[in-house]
Amino acid sequence: MDCYTANWNPLGEEAFYRKFELYTMEWGLKEDLWDCLVAAAPYGGPIALLKNNARKEKSPNTRPLLEIYSASGLLLASIPWKSGQLVQLGWTASEDLLCIQEDGTVLIYNLFCEFKRHFSMGNEVLQNHVLEAKVFHTEYGTGVAILTGAYRFSLTTNIDDLKLRRMPEVPGLQKPPSCWAVLTQDRVTIVLLAVGQDLYLLDNTSCSVVTPPGMSPSAGAYLQMAVSFNYRCLALFTDTGYIWMGLATLKDKLCEFNSTIRSPPKQMVWCTRPRSRQRAVVVAWDRQLMVAGDSMECIRGRHRFVLDEDSYLVPEPDGVRILSRTSHEFLHEIPEASQEIFKIASMAPGALLLEAQKEYEKESQKADEYLREIKDQKLLPEAVSQCIEAAGYEHEPETQKSLLRAASFGKCFVDKFPPESFVRMCQDLRVLNSIRDYQIGIPLTFTQYKRLTIEVLLDRLVLRRLYPLAIRICEYLRLPEIQGVQQKDKSDEEVAYAINQKLGDTPGISYSEIAARAYDCGRTELAIKLLEYEPRSGEQVPLLLKMKRSKLALSKAIESGDTDLVYTVVLHLKNELNRGTFFMTLQNQPVALSLYRQFCKHQERETLKDLYNQDDNHQELGNFHVHSSYSEKRIEGRVGALQNAVDEYYKAKNEFAAKATEDQIKLLRLQRHLQEDFDKPYLDLSLHNTVSTLIQDGHHKKAEQLYREFKIPDKRYWWLKISALASRGDWEEMEKFSKSKKSPIGYLPFVEIAVKHHNRYEAKKYAPRVTPEQRVKAFILVGDLEQAADAAIEHKNEAEMNLVLSKCSATTDSAVMEKLSRARALLLKK
Amino acid sequence: MASTARRDAPEPPDFGILKRLARDQLVYLLEQLPGRKDLFIEPDLMSPLDRIANVSVLKQHEVDKLYRVENRPAPSTSDQLCFLVRPRVRTMRYIADIVNADKMSGRNRKYKIIFSPQKFYACEMVLEEEGVFGDVTCDEWSFYLLPLDEDIISMELPEFFRDYFLEGDHRWINSVARALQLLNSLYGPFSRVYGIGRCAKMSYELWRDLEEESESDGQGRKPEIGNIFLMDRDVDYVTALCSQVVYEGLVDDTFRIKCGKWWEVTSSDKSIKVLLNAQDKIFSQIRNEHFSSVFGFLSQKSRNLQAQYDRRQGMDIKQMKNFVSQELKGLKQEHRLLSLHIGACESIMKKKTKQDFQEMIKVEHALLEGFDIRESTSFIEEHIDRQVSPIESLRLMCLLSITENGLIPKDYRSLKTQYLQSYGPEHLLTFHNLKRIGLLTEQAAGETLTAVESRVSKLVTDRAAGKITDAFNSLAKKSNFRAISKKLSLIPRVDGEYNLKTPRDMAYVFSGAYTPLSCKIIEQVLERRGWQGLEEAVRLLNGNEFAMADGAPEEGAGGDAQRVVVAVFLGGCTFSEIAALRFLGKERGRTGRCGRGGGTARPQRARSTRRCAAPRLPVHLPDHRRHQQRPRDGGHGRGQGVTPSRGRCGRARGCGAPRSAQ
């Protein structure tokens, strides 16, 4: 701490400047910085570098390489530059890279060298080319100004709302201006340019010559000009080494300085602190750096600020960053609070408090003395505030800590010191220290941080895809987390894809958890996209339901083939939607519909009816009624249900079913009468069995009536009647029946049925009436082999003869056999 | 039936593991409810349970009394009730009623529901709706596959067929996928998977997903099953609709084999349960035989047996002692089995004669070949009029419909009317269901698809015709049986008498009249190692085919396992198909051996040699026949599984697949 002020350099009486290293650059740059196109974004932003841009070396195998580094020199991205010749690089306020080409096209890339879009600075530029270009920031946004080969200026104040303005011509301009700058005054953007010893101001309509007030007439030609970060101040450097500093309005001179260096500086930038009275510019030449301000003295590189290598200056609102191949430094005016405390032999309350605290730690009674001293002056609150404030300006955490410790110590002796400022500072420093970490590489100062605001900082972290840090910061500062994950310039699809790219199918990673998180943050669409990567549908569906994407959940569930999931969704939908919509939803998903039907079939039959009603499925409605008719106990109920079914079948144009059901109703009614009349169960018999039972019970009339009423086909009726009669043993009736008219089924069935009932006698009666083709079979059935043989011989049919022969037994039927054999031999001879 | 294992016949995987796994898990679940408890079992889980864990095992784990889950109140007095059930809404209501009744009477008991094979959300929903969800605990018994025989595994899911094919309910697909996963983890990894049919495809895809999720370390294990073939039952209804004529099929048709067992009615009118599998020495020799050769075999066998008994004559004491102690038991056993099967044959004969079996077979063959359609239709009509058998009538109608691409409208109406008159109006719903799954349909007005097709193809180029046909196909799911039959030559050309005793092809299972379509597809695909060259047939079968080769070891490298094929029938299969696959296995096995021996011929044949057939056996006729449903009892059919055939030694091996009836 003793040499704390070792790197302080006084400028005049009041001000001290110091330069300290932010990072050792790790970028392993081989090229000279000045051989590259360089652009570094303000507020500790990233650095863009275009290597090999020099036109002359352009050989096909050395393409320019566009690289983007963090402020600490970590490579963020790089691409070979394949587009046209670049004139200038620049950063927009939202940290997009602008690449201005010779032909006036401006290409916009993001931090990771991903192309976003492009626009053109006008057709005129196509022929004339862009000689120089500048990127500037105004309250309207990021602007671009170009100087064309015809020495005309064009500019746009906001690249997001592109309006090209062509500035008026500068009369008599035959060569490029020696230097120029974009100013903004009263919301008007103007260009200031210097040609030799003349200064011109270009506004929208006119070009006027201006002279800075108090400018020494012998100052010489302008070589360099610099506009301060806030556009309030302007500095001019002439070829006599003279520096004029004044307001940008050119109405007032602030100070002047003679550097005595006549060579044109590489760069000149303002280095002021907001609210500081001190104005200073930093001028850089090849190997030295000079800070010049309102003083006869200056801080010269020869003593203090030697540049060992090419350096590049980046203006910041409260200082200047100095970039070189190996290091990254910050040069700024030491803020008042720090001065007060650390200035050698300072007796400021803050300084005393710091001392007091140090003594206190050493357990020395001096602590009390110091403290008393402050207290006597009643300056303790000021002392505490001073320490807190100074902590903010310190880059080294150790120094920050000791200042905060002092503040904390002093606080104890103040009644009701409001704690907010202390807490706030601790938090802010913690955030700042973490983003200054070289892995992150955003060297924001406290002042810049406050101007940038935490929201913008979070956005930038997110833009750099430093999500975990952003989330941590949100958590730490108790900000709604939404800000942490907000990914404004990427579609949900891209984000989801990016996440997938990073995680792949790593085991143990659950996409549904990530999605749930996204949903909690209000990113429903993103959550849905993320779920696409979730292989287990079981995990997708519940979340989708939670997000009220029931229909999507339904199709996911169906895709999964897991019916449990489908049920889950269906029953969820059932509660969520009104009945009509619910049914409509199901109609579009046959799989879900049939599952739900299955469920209803067992659990809610009435719902089933509604379902069919909904889509006018009359066929199913008919079936439904038929089905329910069987659960009706009373005949009337059954008939009613069946009648409903008939109506539905007609509506379904299924006349067959309607007719059949009508017949069923008729039959049911009839069966009830029969049941009453004969006191025997008839209900639920089929028509066939009903008639059959009637005949068996001897109700031939009734049977006849049914036969006619139901138009039973003759064949069936005959089959039915003879078997019924046979089982009743009513052979007489059967014979009568057989003679009633010609049998539609022939007479073989009569034989068969009689034989079946072991009545050969009856069977024999019918055998002769059997058609000749079947007669042999009939005779065999009744056991009359002789007649069978005769019939077979008559037909001259060898197969039949063989059949009869096979039935003959040698002992009893020798005569028949002999006859057959003879006939067969005869047949074969022929 | 040479049953001696050939030298290069791979041993079938040991499916007993499946049983042991299921038993261990069940025991674990029972122990989760410590203390004495009553066990309620779903009726159709009874038989499978019996084969996994018998009563004494259950008793060991403190099961007190066993009850059937049925529609009456349970008389149980135990304080702990355990329900072993299928995930069905009906059953949930039954359980909820018990719980609610207890609540009303202020009884406090513990209830545990064990779902097999898995729990469905809908069941929990019902429990919740009935207000008992908090009172019961639920568990899953992941009992997916029951090995019925050395080469047959079944999922024993009777409702699979109805739920999936009729109701379009996909819930069992998950179970199938899990069953595949189980097989794959125990006997895999399968190097090749083939399949055809929508359900097969969905199951396959779901299974792949499951595998991906589980990240099992299948690598490095020596696979015991190399190939698996998934097939939807609706790819081939025809085969399932044909009368079975191999012995096992007939036994099933007559007595109905359930869960590998059948009820034999003995002379004394008492029925006993008999386990039918490869352990039954007699049965294993005749199960795959055409019925016509079975009688001869049995009588030969009985003569041999008699001869052995007769050796007693003239034995001295010592020999007699030997005989009694060593051979008699075996002989007696054989005697018992022999009389059992002879008895069965007699019953079959009796039943079949009564039903004009010969006539019926003749009609079926006519339908398959597509001639005498009118006569066949009249036969069916008479069959219905005479009320011969409701199920057979329906079966014939379906066969007619499916081979002809639908009935002509006049027949469609008249046959249905006749049927309703004969068997009752409730079958109106049966017909509706049959129509919906495409088993019994009406031809579109005018002409058949094939007629249009042939006319169109005369007019335009082949390719355009193909497109038009596609368009027609999309109109309705057509069976296209005739075209497929021609394409795959399913009807063998017979020169002279077909030799049923020593058959040359799979057609023997249908008396040489028809090669089962399902088995033919399997044969072709395995032979070609994929679907190349079968595009036309696939199109006629409505597509959805797939094939996956997962770094299959090259010829010979995979060893015997690469010749083991599991055929999975989703929706059940018939014993005829099992027999055909067993035949195929035997046949290919031989080919394979030749190839190796000779060192030259067709190595890939050798590869496809052994196959297991898979899913469960169907026991009987295809389900469709029993598709009709009686609305009143709302009953469900029974289901059945699939079958496999295994290669080489003519034994079949199967894995289960679900099939269901009704």
Helix intervals (H) in B130-267: 160-161, 171-187, 198-214, 238-241, 247-255
Residue B434 has pLDDT above 70, yes or no: yes
pLDDT winner (highest mean) among A733-737, B457-461, B551-555, B586-590 = A733-737
* pLDDT per residue as tens digits for the range B62-121: 888 888 887 676 677 788 888 888 888 888 888 888 888 888 888 888 888 989 888 888
Q: Is B590 on the interface with A (CB under 8 A)?
A: no
Instruction: State whether A599 and B122 contact (CB < 8 Å).
Output: yes
pLDDT winner (highest mean) among A188-192, B164-168, B259-263 = A188-192
**Chain A residues within an 8 Å CB radius of B425:** 660-661, 663-664, 667, 686
Beta bridge partners of A253: A246
Q: What is the ipTM of this complex?
A: 0.72
Question: What confidence score (pLDDT) does residue B599 get?
Answer: 25
| Nearest-Cα residue of chain B relative to residue A665 | B425
- Of the candidate ranges A398-402, B9-13, B403-407, the one whose mean pLDDT is the lowest: B9-13
Q: Say which residues have a Cβ less than 8 Å from residue A328's Cβ, sequence separation at least 6.
A: A21, A22, A23, A24, A25, A71, A72, A73, A321, A322, A443
**Chain A residues within an 8 Å CB radius of B429:** 623, 626-627
Question: What confidence score (pLDDT) does residue B293 get?
Answer: 83
* pLDDT per residue as tens digits for the range A628-643: 888 888 888 888 888 8
Strand order through the sheet with A267-270: A267-270, A280-284, A289-293, A298-300
Cα–Cα distance, A92 to A142 (Å, whole number) = 5
Instruction: State whether B170 and A591 contact (CB < 8 Å).
Output: yes
Domains of chain B: 32-143 (3.40.50.2060), 447-478 (no CATH)
Question: What confidence score (pLDDT) does residue A272 get?
Answer: 83
Residue A447 has pLDDT above 50, yes or no: yes
Q: Which whole number is the average pLDDT over A262-289?
A: 84
Which residues of chain B from 185 to 214 reach within 8 Å of chain A, CB to CB?
202, 205-206, 209, 212-213
Distance from chain centroid for Cα A417: 48
Which residues of chain B from 154 to 173 reach within 8 Å of chain A, CB to CB?
163, 167-171, 173
Question: What confidence score (pLDDT) does residue A215 get?
Answer: 81
| Nearest-Cα residue of chain B relative to residue A622 | B429
Classify residue B335 as exposed, middle or buried by CB count within 10 Å of its CB (0-12, 13-18, 19+). middle
Instruction: State whether A686 and B424 contact (CB < 8 Å).
Output: yes
Identify which of B129, B174, B422 has the shortest CB distance to residue A562. Answer: B174
Identify from A563, A601, A612, A668 which residue to disrupt to test chain B contact, counting B C-beta atoms within 10 A and taking the largest count: A563
Residue B626 has pLDDT above 70, yes or no: no
**Chain A residues within an 8 Å CB radius of B209:** 535, 560-561
What are the tokens at A220? 């010489």
**Chain A residues within an 8 Å CB radius of B93:** 602-603
Strand order through the sheet with B110-115: B63-68, B37-41, B80-85, B110-115, B136-140
How, if at all, do strands B192-196 and B227-232 pair? parallel
Q: Which residue has better confidence, A789 or B113?
A: B113
Tell me A490's DSSP state.
S
* pLDDT per residue as tens digits for the range A578-601: 888 888 888 778 778 888 888 888
Question: What confidence score (pLDDT) does residue A3 get?
Answer: 65
Question: What confidence score (pLDDT) does residue A433 get?
Answer: 92
Instruction: State whether B121 and A564 contact (CB < 8 Å).
Output: yes
Yes or no: say if A234 and A227 are a contact pair by the CB < 8 Å rule.
Answer: yes
How would residue B456 be classed by pLDDT, with cut points 50, 70 and 90?
very low
**Chain A residues within an 8 Å CB radius of B171:** 563-564, 595, 598
Q: Say which residues have a Cβ less than 8 Å from residue B457's Cβ, sequence separation at least 6.
A: B465
Cα–Cα distance, A132 to A151 (Å, whole number) = 10
Shortest distance between the Cα of B72 and any Cα of chain A, in A, equals: 18
* pLDDT per residue as tens digits for the range B175-234: 888 888 888 888 877 888 888 888 888 888 888 888 877 765 555 567 777 788 888 888
- Of the candidate ranges A60-64, A558-562, B622-626, the one whose mean pLDDT is the lowest: B622-626
- What are the angstrom distances between the C-alpha of B400 and each of B392, B440, B536? 12, 8, 24
Instruction: State whether B174 and A561 contact (CB < 8 Å).
Output: yes
Rounded percentage of chain B residues whose pLDDT exceeds 90: 0
Q: What is the DSSP string of A680-709?
A: S--TT--HHHHHHHHHHTT-HHHHHHHHHH
Yes or no: say if A121 and A106 are a contact pair by the CB < 8 Å rule.
Answer: yes
Which residues of chain B from 259 to 318 reach within 8 Å of chain A, CB to CB?
none
How would residue B8 be classed by pLDDT, with cut points 50, 70 and 90?
very low
Residue B46 has pLDDT above 70, yes or no: yes
Distance from chain centroid for Cα A423: 37
Tell me A516's DSSP state.
H
Q: Is B379 on the interface with A (CB under 8 A)?
A: no
Q: Which residue has better confidence, A678 or A493?
A: A678
* pLDDT per residue as tens digits for the range A552-579: 788 878 877 777 888 888 888 888 878 8
Q: Where are the beta strands (DSSP E) in B266-330?
A: 271-275
Q: What is the distance between the terminal CA atoms of chain B, rounded to a whole angstrom?
A: 35
**Chain B residues within an 8 Å CB radius of A594:** 167-170
Give residue A667's identity as a one-letter amino acid code: L
Helices B357-369 + B390-403 axis angle, to 10: 20
Instruction: State whether B170 and A563 contact (CB < 8 Å).
Output: yes
Residue A174 has pLDDT above 80, yes or no: yes
Question: What confidence score (pLDDT) does residue A590 get?
Answer: 79
Identify which of A562, A626, A685 has the shortest CB distance to residue B429. Answer: A626
Closest CA to A404 of A416, A418, A421, A379: A421
What are the tokens at A1? 């701490």
Instruction: State whether B90 and A598 contact (CB < 8 Å).
Output: no
Cα–Cα distance, A471 to B190 (Å, whole number) = 47
Measured over all CA atoms, what is the biggest interatomic distance in chain B, rounded to whole angstroms? Answer: 89
Q: Which residue has better confidence, B167 or A813?
A: B167
State the average pLDDT for chain A: 82
Tell me A25's DSSP state.
-
Shortest distance between the Cα of B482 and any Cα of chain A, in A, equals: 28
Beta bridge partners of B641: B617
Q: Which whole number is the average pLDDT over B571-596?
A: 69
Question: What confidence score (pLDDT) does residue A53 get?
Answer: 64
Q: Is B129 on the interface with A (CB under 8 A)?
A: yes
Q: What is the DSSP string of A128-159?
A: H-EEEEEEEEETTEEEEEEEETTS-EEEES-T
Shortest distance between the Cα of B44 and any Cα of chain A, in A, equals: 18
What are the tokens at B66? 């066993």
Q: Say which residues have a Cβ less than 8 Å from residue A398's Cβ, sequence separation at least 6.
A: none
Yes or no: say if A566 and A592 are a contact pair by the CB < 8 Å rule.
Answer: yes
Quickly tell me which residue has 């790819």 as its tokens: B235
Q: Where are the beta strands (DSSP E) in B11-62?
A: 37-41
Cα–Cα distance, B275 to B260 (Å, whole number) = 6
Residue B478 has pLDDT above 60, yes or no: no
Yes or no: say if A285 and A261 are a contact pair by the CB < 8 Å rule.
Answer: yes
- Of the candidate ranges A797-801, B39-43, B323-327, the one whose mean pLDDT is the lowest: A797-801
Q: Which whole number is the average pLDDT over A116-122?
A: 87
Give residue A707's identity as a one-letter amino acid code: Y
**Kind plus residue range of the DSSP H or E element containing A421:** helix A420-436
Q: Say which residues have a Cβ less than 8 Å from residue A522's Cβ, sequence separation at least 6.
A: A482
Q: Which residue has better confidence, A255 or A492?
A: A255
- Of the candidate ranges A515-519, A663-667, B130-134, B524-528, the one whose mean pLDDT is the lowest: A515-519
The reported pTM is: 0.63
**What is the three-state SS of A197-256?**
CEEEEECCCCEEEECCCCCCCCCCCEEEEEECCCCCEEEEEECCCEEEEEECCCCCEEEE
- What are the angstrom distances between the C-alpha of B651 and each of A453, A541, B230? 82, 46, 20
Q: Which whole number is the average pLDDT over A41-55?
A: 81
Q: Which whole number is the average pLDDT over A678-707?
A: 85
Question: What confidence score (pLDDT) does residue B440 get?
Answer: 87
Cα–Cα distance, B615 to A428 (Å, whole number) = 70
State the average pLDDT for chain B: 74
How would residue A491 be classed by pLDDT, with cut points 50, 70 and 90?
low
How would residue B603 be classed by pLDDT, with cut points 50, 70 and 90?
very low
How would residue B7 be classed by pLDDT, with cut points 50, 70 and 90?
very low
Residue B436 has pLDDT above 80, yes or no: yes
| Nearest-Cα residue of chain A relative to residue B431 | A657
Q: Is B359 on the interface with A (CB under 8 A)?
A: no
Q: Which whole number is the average pLDDT over A66-91?
A: 87
Residue A276, φ and ψ in degrees, nearest 5: -95, 145
Yes or no: say if B38 and B82 are a contact pair by the CB < 8 Å rule.
Answer: yes
Instruction: State whether A599 and B426 contact (CB < 8 Å).
Output: no
Quickly tell me which residue has 């490029």 as its tokens: A176
Give residue B380's identity as a one-letter amino acid code: I
Question: What confidence score (pLDDT) does residue A60 get?
Answer: 55
